[in-house]
Chains A and B, each alone.
Chain A
Amino acid sequence: MTQTAPVMRDPGEDGRFGDFGGRFVPEALIPACEELHDAFRDAWTDDAFREEFHHVLREFGGRPTPITYLARLSESLGVRVYAKREDLAHTGSHKINNVVGQTLLTRRMGKTRVIAETGAGQHGVATATAAARLGLDCTVYMGELDTQRQALNVFRMELLGAKVVPVTSGSRTLKDAVNEAMREWVTCVDDTHYCLGSVMGPHPFPWMVREFQSIIGHEASRQMAELGVGTPDVVVACVGGGSNAAGIFAGFADSTAELVGVEAAGGAAISGGQPGVLHGMKSMLLQSESGQIEEAESISAGLDYPGIGPEHAHLAAIGRARYVGMADEPVIEALQLLSSSEGIIPALESAHAVAWIAREAGREIPSGSTVLLNLSGRGDKDVAQVRDILKGRS
């Protein structure tokens, strides 16, 4: 076999994934992005840094997460479904992988403080957690609407010693929390690292976050081999910004597995968006006729984002991965299905991926196929919301 370049490769100095990516930020932030780029490149080739990253994820983060064969679901769908259990990682989702990496890097750069944006609060809680562990000062920007919808997560962050700042501009959700964190970063780049929560933003974030999250895919690929299953036919993950998807895809992009990202139908940047520039990156974005960014709409706050990471836009453009939208209704059903048939309550975000498998088994996923599902997070944070939705119906 001839050796070909890896599909998910190093995007180089300018951070390009085909036509997408780059660095579209105010001049004031360019030096910080360059510093981060150099620091990450240096750290990622340093065995000691990698060893510490893996060590912290083992003894603090709960890795490796297991792979669970979903026997009853598989039986009923006629396809063999394996779940990579990121819901079992510390803080209940894959977000911990990224924040452990970024906080170690923060310390390595000699910075003492992190800021972060959060939607539902998962990335905010994870950042506050990792910051507490290293004694870093932590401030989290959260849309005012989200602070109300996710009041418990606000309290969690505060317990962890973080300060939560409600963002009152724009739509008062995730998109605006990112804007505000970037504005704030301009004023404090000297001592503060912006701990971005997904594979988005200006270079090097999309690449760096993918690298930190790729531990999911590398573990899974090894585990699937150990299980004697080998390369799955399909790898499926939900996509907000796309970090859990990028993480698991990274382990299979160079294999024969089909890669499928499931976006919220109301935030489907690939199928419903156009190329554009937002939050420091060129990618696919939901936009109005005159180029204003539109608000995403989904029951799952973590997928409520009008864009998608640039590498996903590239993987879609070259046909290596495909991205589908999933409406709210089947997501609720999928959450119930996984809970009652497997004893796993998934996050609403992850339930999007489950819903796609449930819908396409025997159709786009031929019967008898092997499917690897990235179960990005647990559903504890969502049960009150789901209860209210179900109650509202009866």
Chain B
Amino acid sequence: MNSLERHLRERRDAGQSSFVPYLMAGMVPDWRDHLEALVAAGAAAVEVGVPFSDPILDGVVIQRAALASLEAGTTPEGVFAELARRPLGVPVIVMTYFNIFHHLGMERSASLLHDAGVSGVIIPDLTLEEAGPWREAVTGRDIDTVLLVAPSSPEARVEKIARAAQGFVYAASRMAVTGQAEDTGDAGAVVDRVRRHSDLPVFVGIGISTPEQARHAYSIADGAIVGSALVDRVLRGMSALETEAFARDFVL
């Protein structure tokens, strides 16, 4: 078992809900300060986006963050170097699209991620069937490849995904791209389906944007992933100090 999964299982077994915020690397010049603020607020782990030109699972907010980051000259290697510079004290999960790793080379990506202290990756366009070579590349490097389950995933598929899952299972709350939703959608049903086949921690994501929604996620699952709500505010000028205050409301 890799360290990310161990950490998240320990939290779960200790009855702690996990708040996992997402920020896009390079979206603002002081993005590192925002990450540290999130850790100070009590984040169980942080998700760091590496910008890609064609993010098909992202809504307008994270698209905008990716664009801002790319315009600022962010590169994958730059992000990894920045993460390697100083550990954050909580597990770092990198989220990006597969072409970024494919282009760098899978072996090289795995080694850069390892050197950067990254302990998990979420690659939304790399599903179970295509993930073989990637998972081989990260084997032995203490990196979990997190898989998603969607409301549309049929039972038999959930079972297959659950069997292959590492770290935690990402339960997509709705049939949508990332954004700020009114409620937690189908999260309950998706989490139930995952629980039937897996004893891994289950986190709810996609659309979670208020402390109330996060609390609902904590009541049905082991954690909540919050992206667009945070990214939107940071893009509109929220300071790192304000980020810490904002994030505290999401921590139980």
Contact = CB atoms under 8 A, between A and B. Distances in A.
B102 interface: yes
Given A27-B147, A186-B177, A291-B104, A279 B56 contact: yes
Given A26-B124, A276-B102, A293-B99, A31 B129 contact: no
Nearest to B101: A291
Interface string A173-190: 001100100110011110
Contact of B56 (A26, A276, A285, A292): A26
A297 to B, nearest CB: 15
Contacts of A188: 175
Chain A contact-residue range equals: 35 or more
B151 to A, nearest CB: 7
Contact of A169 (B63, B99, B125, B176): B63
Interface in A15-42: 22-32
Contact of A28 (B54, B103, B172): B172
Contact of B152 (A22, A28, A182, A183): A28
B127 A30 contact: yes
Contacts of A26: 56-57, 124-125, 127, 148, 150
Given A28-B172, A290-B103, A183 B177 contact: yes
B76 interface: yes
Given A291-B76, A291-B104, A28 B175 contact: yes
Contacts, number: 113
B10 interface: no
B157 A31 contact: yes
A286 B176 CA distance: 28
Contacts of B172: 27-28
Interface in B43-97: 52-60, 63, 67, 70, 75-77, 97
A277 interface: yes
A28 to B, nearest CB: 4
Contacts of A31: 152-154, 157
Interface residues of B, number: 42
A169 B61 CA distance: 11
Interface centre among B77, B129, B172 (most CB of A within 10 A): B129
Nearest to B64: A169
Contacts of B55: 179
Nearest to A275: B102
Nearest to A183: B177
A293 B54 CA distance: 7
Contacts of B148: 26-28
B127 A27 contact: yes
The 5 closest A-B pairs by CB, nearest first: A291-B103, A28-B150, A292-B53, A290-B75, A27-B148
Nearest to A175: B54
A133 to B, nearest CB: 29
Given A27-B172, A28-B150, A28-B152, A287 B129 contact: no
B221 to A, nearest CB: 17
